Structure 1
Amino acid sequence: MKLRSIRQPIRPRRLDISFEIEAFLNRPPFAQSEQGRALFDEAARIAQALGIHLEGMETGGGSDGNFTAAIGVPTLDGLGADGAGAHTYNEHALISSIVPRTALLANLILALQKRSCVRISEGA
């Protein structure tokens, strides 16, 4: 993570130069809970049944999921379409991943719905 790397003392090469580094972080760190890990395990099980490789990893980035995870809500992030070039002019989604990822999310929602008291009405 870049922030960790700049915590090391930085010394100017010239004594007549000074600088200050200030970070404005607007998200709490993503802290995965036991329930969040169980949710990932369920998603990974479904992904495997669909022939999708799902890998849990820490990226050092931030999303709105950081807020929900911080208050203890089981949270998964990064389940959308595969792609590359995040936050650059070359950012793109792989069209071939849209249908499989949608199937993964639909099956995960159905699995969670079956385990809870929440019922989806036929007409909805």
Structure 2
Amino acid sequence: MNNLDKVYAESVAKDYMPKETSKVRQLKKLDDKAKKPAFITSLSVGIIGALIFGTGMCLAMGVLATGIVAMIFGIIIGIIGIAICIINYPLYLKLLKKGKSMYAYEILELAKEITEE
């Protein structure tokens, strides 16, 4: 058996071995688990708010429809989009605080274990 076969066999065997999870990796996963829902929600709400605002702008400027009714309707839709975008950051902060408080005990205990080693 030559050297390349041995290296290949070791790399294949490594894929099937149970993976060790270090405490630092566990801490990072818990941190992501606490922060990711707030990030995804705020990103989605921000995109939706921007799309609603853009639709209102298109209506108000006469791109999608013409006339005074379309302009007024576009202004109203644009204001709704702006309101959604304004609410987005406080929503993010609230969800982030909730996520951090949900996992705070586990994260602090794991961080204490890591620093004491």
TM-score under structure 2 length normalisation: 0.28
Return the structure number with greater helix share. Answer: 2
**Which protein, 1 or 2, shows the higher relative CO under an 8 Å CA cutoff with sep ≥ 6?**
2
| Pair member with larger Rg | 2
TM-score under structure 1 length normalisation: 0.27
